[in-house]
Amino acid sequence: MNGTESTDTQTDTDTRTAVVTGGASGIGRAIARRLAADGLRVAVLDLSPGSPGEDGYALTADVTDRAQVDKAMDAVRERLGPIHVLVNAAGRDGFTRFADLPFADWQRVVDINLNGVFHCVQSALPDMLAARWGRIVNISSSSTHSGQPFMAHYVAAKSAVNGLTKSLALELGPKGITVNAVPPGFIDTPMLRTAERQRQLGGTIEDHIARTPVRRVGRPEDIAATCSFLVGEEAGYITGQIIGVNGGRNT
């Protein structure tokens, strides 16, 4: 057994605790439900939390507020045990011409999409370090591959998440902790439907499906399936990777 493995039974699959931020809806909700179905103890952190299932635990927390994050993580530890899996799915988009973008809007999007990851990783990390085993998955965005007009603040924040992922993977790998990012492509979520109604997609959903090699819109469950693999034992040799789930739109 090498130095990055642990004999601690607290890290057995059926007793691991996972925290999913932004887990009340969309991609985050699908991830929380999938991890619960996989047998993990799942806690959801969200501004408007909802349970991922009978075994789920939902807490209200603003990921931009470190005090709220720490309080929520402590509540998870008290109820479910040490945190060994963290999926950062909380996010917020925005559509504004850069020349007209107020700094307050820029800051808010960066706070949620980037600084929220910082707070949650730092808050959950002590348990993973103690166990010498951990899995962190950051949900970024396929917009980091090619950019997106009118979304400079969102693309900048999600691109930084990819960079943070790579740096943390190098730093935490020797401690038995893997860190990866999943940039979703064209996924059917409430956020996507709102963008379509606001005519921010550069066409309809059907138009984008026609430009997607697999000829369908993605489902939140597609992202959840990837996260399910990345947080498991079989993914222990995968870290620092940006794993696109986008139907072939970005290769």
By annotation, the residues acting in catalysis are: 154
* CA dist., res. 194 & res. 40, Å (int): 32
* CA dist., res. 207 & res. 47, Å (int): 33
Cβ neighbours of residue 27 closer than 8 Å, sequence gap 6 or more: 89, 139, 184, 187, 189, 220, 223, 224
Taken in order 239, 116, 149, 103, the sign of the CA dihedral is: negative
Burial class (CB in 10 A: 0-12, 13-18, 19+), 191: middle
Write the DSSP symbol of residue 59: E
How many CB atoms within 10 Å of residue 238?
15
